[in-house]
Structure 1
Amino acid sequence: MEASVICSSQAKIRKTELAYRELGCFDPKGVSKAFSAKSRVCFSPSTMWRKAGIRFTLRAVQSEAVRSEKVSGPSRMSKSRDGVRLFVGLPLDAVSDCNTVNHARAIAAGLKALKLLGVEGVELPVWWGIVEKEAMRKYEWSGYLALAKMVQDAGLKLHVSLCFHASKQPKIPLPKWVSRIGESDPNIFFTDGAGQHYKECLSLAVDDLPVLDGSTPIQVYHEFCESFKSSFSPFMGSTLTGISMGLGPDGELRYPSHHMLTKSNQIPGVGEFQCYDKNMLGILKQHAEATGNSLWGLGGPHDVPTYDQSPNSNNFFRDNGGSWDSPYGDFFLSWYSNQLISHGNRLLSLAASTFSESAATVCGKIPLMHSWYKTRSHPSELTAGYYNTTTRDGYEVVAEMFARNSCKMILPGMDLSDEHQSHESLSSPEFLLADIKKACRKHGVEVCGQNSSASMAPGGFEQIKKNLLGENIVDLFSYQRMGAYFFSPEHFPSFTGFVRSLNQPELHSDDLPEEEEEAAGSLNVSSEASVHMQAV
C-alpha cells in the first residue's frame, strides 16, 4: 500500500515538475514576464529553479500531492465537506483581440497545477469586443474554443462569463462597430449630471431601442448567446457547466456610479447618479407625468455630492433631514432602482431561455457597494442602483428577480472583513454580505462567491473560509485570478494551503507541513529576481 502511494505521488510530482517547467520565460536580465508575453514564450528551466525561487512553489505542490494520496486516496474530491466547488479565473486577456490564445503554454501548465491541487474548474471571460469585433453578426470564436479544448484536455470544468462591457486594464474595447455608432450617438451610453459619458457599456435605457444599426441591444445580445451556444455545443453540460450573463459595468448589475473616482482618494466617495442620457431622461419624464409629479421628471436630484465627496458634502444623503428620506427621494430612488432591476430581468430572462436546455447553470453578478454602509442612507448603494437603506431592504426584490429566472447570484468581496476597512468610510462588507445572503436564502437563490482582487485583502483566505464553510448557501467559489502574481512564490503556497484547508477544514490554512516550512526557510530570491518575477 505504502509503495503504491509513493509511486503514485512520485508520478504526480513528475507531472507537476513538467507543468512548472513550461511556465519558465526569461529575458536576458533574468526572470521574464510569462503572463505578459503575448507573442513569444522562451524557456530556461534551470534558471527558473535556481533564481526564481520556484523550487518553493513546486515543493508546496509536491507535498500537497503526497498528502492528498495519503489523506484522500487517488479519487480525491474537489469539493469541501460543505459541497463548495472551487474554480479559478483565467487571465482577463486569455484571448487576444486577434483571437489567439495569450500565454498559451503558461496557461496549459497552470491548468495542470490546478488539476493536481483538486480545483474543480476555471472561469473564462468571453469578450463581446473580441468575438463580434468587426461587424454585427460576424462572430469569431476560435481563440475561446481553443481554450475550452485546453480546459477539457486538463480534465477541468469550465465556467464562462459573457462580457458585454469594455475593460481598461487590460484594454479590451467594445466592438468597433458599436463604438462607431457611439461616436455619432453618445446617448447610447450612460451619462452623469455633468454630461460625461461612460463608454464601456451601453445604457440600460436603450435595451429595447433599435440603436444598433436597426437592432436593439437585447436582440444583439440574444444573437450573440445563440451563436455561443451553437459554437460551444460540444462542451455544453460536460466541460462547460456554468454561464455568467454580463449585466453592466464590469459585468455587474449596477450603474457606473463610481467610474470617475480618483485613485489618490483613500476614502471612496459616494459616486453619482447616471441618468442623464436623453433616453433615461425621457423615461424619467414619462414616469413623473404618469404619477402626477411632472416637475420631478426634469432630471436627477440637484442636492447631491460629486463622485469623490462624502455623504455630508451636500444635503441629499445626510442621515438627518436628507432629501433621500422624503417623498421626492422615494420617487426618484424607486424609479432609478426599478430601471436597473428591469434591465437585469431582461438579460437574465434572455440567458435563462437561451441556455435552458444546455445543462449549464446561468448566473448573474451584483456588486458589493459596502462603503458608507454604516450611514442611514447607504449612498454608494443608492447611486449604484440599489435602493437599500436602514429603513428599506433593497435586495429582496433583486433576489426575487434572480429566483424568477432560476439564476444563481455571484457575490464578490468574500475576502473582505470589517476589521480592515477604513473607519472614515463607515464601511461594512460583512454586514452587507449577510444582508444579501439573507435575501437569497429567503427566495431560494444559490450564491457563487468571488474575492475582491488578485492581491487579496489582509486575512483574505481566512475570511473566504468563514464565508464558505459552515451553514451557508454558497454553491461555488471562483478565485480571481490566474496570472503572474497568482503563481508567484509569494502567493501560490498560500493558495495551496487554502485549497487544502477547504478539503480538510480541521486544518488551519496557515499550518504548513514540515516539508513546506523547510522549503520556506530555504527560499532566498535575489532582489533582481523579485523585481522581474512575473512568470508563473
Structure 2
Amino acid sequence: MCPLNAALLPRDTLARLLDKLVGVEGIMLDVWWSLCEPTPGSFDFSRYRPIFQMAIERNLKIQAVLSFHTCGESEGDQVVISLPPFIRQLQPQYPFLFYTDEDGEWSWECLSLSADHAKVFPSAQGVCRRTALDMYEDFMRAFYEEFSSWIGTHIVQIQVSMGPSGELRYPSFALSRWKFPGMGAFQCYDERMQQDYRDYIAAITTRNHHHGTDSFHRREKEEEVVVFPCYQTCGRGYNMLPWQTPFFGEGIAETERGKTFLEWYSSKLLCHGEDMLERARRVFHSQVEIACKVAGIHWLYKTKHRAAEAIAGYYVSDRFHFYQRLASLLKKYGATWIFTCFEKRDEWEDKAAKCSPESLIRETWSIAASLDVPFAAENALEMKRDEEYEQVLEKADWCRRNGHPLSCFTLLRLSEELISPDHVDRWATFVQHMQQSPPI
C-alpha cells in the first residue's frame, strides 16, 4: 500500500520509496474522491497519472482504490482527507445524507445508505438530480475514460470503496468516539433509515397476516420492544460491552423483533454492496478484477451475539449469516473478497476483549472457498515484529495447503520506516518467503 497521501507527496519522494520495492508485484493506491472531483461532475486525475506512470516504469502493477470515504478516522491514518466540499455543504439541508447514531451525532466518514437513491446532489450543470450511486458511477466512468489504456494490463484491480476505510460496513467504531474493544454504536437513526425500518416491519406484518399467522405481531406486543435499540448513553455506547446494554445484555437481541432488526440492518448493507458492485461491473465490464474490502472485526467474536460485528453490519445467527450472503453476492459479480487482520494471533490479544482473529479468518476463508470466491488479504495495522510477518506466512500457507490460496496479499504500508535500515531486512525476507512458498 502506498502512503495515504501519495498524491500529495513530492514526486521525487514517492519515486524514492517505489525504488525500494524489490520482489513485490505492485502497489495499492487510494484515489481520493475529493482530490479528483473538486466541483460537481468535473474530474481531474492529474495528481494520479504521474504516479501510475512511475509504477509502470518500474514494472509494478496497480491496485486502484476508488476511495469514496474520508481519511483520518482509522488507526494508522496520519493525514486527513475529507469528502468533497460540495457534498458536506448539503448536510444542513439534508441531514440524512450522513450516518446518525442514537445521540443524533453524524459520522463524516462516508455518505449514508440513505443517500444512495436520494436525488439531491448537483451535476456539472448545477441541477440537483444525482443520487450518491450516480456520483459513484460517474467517478468510476471518469476514471475508466482517463486510464482505459492501462486498465486490465497495468491497473489489474479496482477496489470500490463501500464505506468507512473503504470497507463494506457501517461507521460504528470511528477513532474519534471509540476505543478498543468497545462494541461500537448503531448508525441508523436518520429519518430515512427509520422510515425504511418501519416499512420493513409493515411488510412483514402484512405478509404474516396474508399467510394466516400473527406470531410476529403477537410477540412484538408481548415484548414491548422499541423500534431501534436505544441505550440512551449520550455517546458512551461506542465503548460499552454488549452485556452492559439492554439490547444485548437483557435478551432483546434474541427476541423476534431484535433478530428482525439486526437482519434488516445487515441486509441494508448488503443491498448497498450489490448496488456498488453492479455499477462497477457496468463501467468496467470484465476488463479488470473488482474487489470488495471487508473489515476483520475480531473483538467480541467469542461472545454470544458477536456484537461488534453485528453493529458494523456483519450479523451472524442461526438464520442469517452475513458472510455467507456476502460470498454469494461476490460470486454473482465475480468480485474478490479482501480481508484484513492476517497478522494477528489470538493469544496476543487482550483476554477481556474476547477476540479470535484466527477463528474469524478461518470462518470467512472457508465460506469464500466453498463458493470459489477469490480471497485476498491484508494486515490490519503496520507490522513491527518478526512474529507478525510469520503469522501472515503461516496463514497464507494454511490457505494454500487447504486448496484455496490467497489471490493476493497487500502489505500495509510503504513508508520511510518500512524502508529504514532497522526494518527493511524484515519485510524483504517476508516478501522472499511469500514468493518461495511451495505450490498446492
Aligned length: 405
Q: TM-score scaled by structure 1?
A: 0.72
What is the CA–CA distance in structure 1 between the aligned matches of 2:433 and 2:406, rounded to whole Å? 17
Q: Structure 2: which amino acid aligns with 1:500?
A: Q
Shift of the 457–268 alpha-carbon distance from structure 1 to 2, 3 Å rule, reads: farther
The structural deviation recorded for 1:311 is 1.4
Q: Structure 2: which amino acid aligns with 1:91?
A: P
The structural deviation recorded for 1:112 is 2.4
Shift of the 255–105 alpha-carbon distance from structure 1 to 2, 3 Å rule, reads: same
What is the CA deviation profile of residues 282-319 of structure 1, one whole-angstrom value per residue up to 9, with x for unaligned ones? 1111111222259899641135871101111123223x
Q: TM-score scaled by structure 2?
A: 0.88
Q: Structure 1: which amino acid aligns with 2:194?
A: L
What is the CA–CA distance in structure 1 between the aligned matches of 2:262 and 2:269, rounded to whole Å? 11
What is the CA–CA distance in structure 1 between the aligned matches of 2:420 and 2:251, rounded to whole Å? 49
Checking the alignment, whether the CA contact within 8 Å between 2:291 and 2:338 is kept in structure 1 is yes
Selected match of 1:278 from 177, 191, 199: 191
Residue 428 of structure 2 aligns with which residue? Answer: 496
What is the CA–CA distance in structure 2 between the aligned matches of 1:118 and 1:325, rounded to whole Å? 51
Residue 52 of structure 2 aligns with which residue? Answer: 148
What is the CA–CA distance in structure 1 between the aligned matches of 2:111 and 2:204, rounded to whole Å? 28
Shift of the 457–381 alpha-carbon distance from structure 1 to 2, 3 Å rule, reads: farther
Where in structure 2 are the equivalents of 1:40-59 lying within 5 Å? none
Shift of the 301–497 alpha-carbon distance from structure 1 to 2, 3 Å rule, reads: same
Selected match of 1:247 from 162, 165, 183: 162
What is the CA deviation profile of residues 321-345 of structure 1, one whole-angstrom value per residue up to 9, with x for unaligned ones? 6211111111100100100000000
Residue 174 of structure 1 aligns with which residue? Answer: 83
Secondary structure, aligned partner of 2:302 = coil
Checking the alignment, whether the CA contact within 8 Å between 2:263 and 2:320 is kept in structure 1 is no
Checking the alignment, whether the CA contact within 8 Å between 1:187 and 1:279 is kept in structure 2 is yes
Selected match of 1:129 from 18, 34, 37: 34
The structural deviation recorded for 1:106 is 2.5
Shift of the 405–457 alpha-carbon distance from structure 1 to 2, 3 Å rule, reads: farther
The structural deviation recorded for 1:393 is 3.3
The structural deviation recorded for 1:353 is 2.1
The structural deviation recorded for 1:198 is 0.3
Where in structure 2 are the equivalents of 1:502-513 lying within 5 Å? 502-505=434-437
What is the CA–CA distance in structure 2 between the aligned matches of 1:147 and 1:276, rounded to whole Å? 41
What is the CA–CA distance in structure 2 between the aligned matches of 1:160 and 1:299, rounded to whole Å? 40
Where in structure 2 are the equivalents of 1:19-38 lying within 5 Å? none
Selected match of 1:118 from 11, 23, 36: 23
Where in structure 2 are the equivalents of 1:149-164 lying within 5 Å? 149-164=53-68
Shift of the 236–394 alpha-carbon distance from structure 1 to 2, 3 Å rule, reads: closer
Residue 342 of structure 1 aligns with which residue? Answer: 271
What is the CA–CA distance in structure 2 between the aligned matches of 1:106 and 1:279, rounded to whole Å? 46
What is the CA–CA distance in structure 1 between the aligned matches of 2:292 and 2:318, rounded to whole Å? 25
Checking the alignment, whether the CA contact within 8 Å between 1:281 and 1:298 is kept in structure 2 is no
Where in structure 2 are the equivalents of 1:66-145 lying within 5 Å? 89-96=1-8, 102-114=9-21, 117-133=22-38, 135-145=39-49
Checking the alignment, whether the CA contact within 8 Å between 1:366 and 1:410 is kept in structure 2 is yes
Q: Structure 1: which amino acid aligns with 2:279?
A: L
Q: Structure 2: which amino acid aligns with 1:191?
A: T
The structural deviation recorded for 1:354 is 1.2
The structural deviation recorded for 1:157 is 0.6
Residue 209 of structure 2 aligns with which residue? Answer: none
Q: Structure 1: which amino acid aligns with 2:141?
A: E
Selected match of 2:358 from 430, 444, 454: 430
The structural deviation recorded for 1:185 is 2.1
Flag structure 2 segments of 5+ consecutive residues without an equivalent. 122-127, 206-216
What is the CA–CA distance in structure 2 between the aligned matches of 1:394 and 1:219, rounded to whole Å? 26
Selected match of 2:244 from 299, 309, 313: 313
Shift of the 377–298 alpha-carbon distance from structure 1 to 2, 3 Å rule, reads: closer
What is the CA–CA distance in structure 2 between the aligned matches of 1:174 and 1:279, rounded to whole Å? 21
Secondary structure, aligned partner of 2:291 = strand
Q: Structure 2: which amino acid aligns with 1:146?
A: P
Secondary structure, aligned partner of 2:301 = coil
The structural deviation recorded for 1:260 is 5.7
Flag structure 1 segments of 5+ consecutive residues without an equivalent. 1-88, 97-101, 507-536
Q: Structure 1: which amino acid aligns with 2:63?
A: H
Residue 419 of structure 2 aligns with which residue? Answer: 487
Residue 208 of structure 2 aligns with which residue? Answer: none
What is the CA–CA distance in structure 1 between the aligned matches of 2:27 and 2:20, rounded to whole Å? 12
Residue 184 of structure 1 aligns with which residue? Answer: 93
What is the CA–CA distance in structure 1 between the aligned matches of 2:192 and 2:421, rounded to whole Å? 51
What is the CA–CA distance in structure 2 between the aligned matches of 1:365 and 1:384, rounded to whole Å? 14
Shift of the 262–491 alpha-carbon distance from structure 1 to 2, 3 Å rule, reads: farther
Q: Which moved more, 1:325-334 or 1:465-474?
A: 465-474
Where in structure 2 are the equivalents of 1:364-513 lying within 5 Å? 364-389=292-317, 393-456=321-384, 459-469=387-397, 470-471=400-401, 472-505=404-437
Q: Structure 2: which amino acid aligns with 1:343?
A: H
What is the CA–CA distance in structure 1 between the aligned matches of 2:362 and 2:431, rounded to whole Å? 24
Checking the alignment, whether the CA contact within 8 Å between 2:103 and 2:232 is kept in structure 1 is no
Where in structure 2 are the equivalents of 1:265-304 lying within 5 Å? 265=179, 267-292=180-205, 299-303=227-231
Checking the alignment, whether the CA contact within 8 Å between 1:352 and 1:406 is kept in structure 2 is no
The structural deviation recorded for 1:147 is 0.6
Residue 255 of structure 2 aligns with which residue? Answer: 326
What is the CA deviation profile of residues 68-112 of structure 1, one whole-angstrom value per residue up to 9, with x for unaligned ones? xxxxxxxxxxxxxxxxxxxxx11110113xxxxx13212212222
Asked which structure has the greater RCO (Cα within 8 Å, sep 6+), the reply is 1
Shift of the 304–444 alpha-carbon distance from structure 1 to 2, 3 Å rule, reads: farther
Shift of the 262–202 alpha-carbon distance from structure 1 to 2, 3 Å rule, reads: closer
Determine what percentage of the aligned residue pairs are the same residue. Answer: 28
Shift of the 259–408 alpha-carbon distance from structure 1 to 2, 3 Å rule, reads: same
Checking the alignment, whether the CA contact within 8 Å between 2:299 and 2:356 is kept in structure 1 is yes
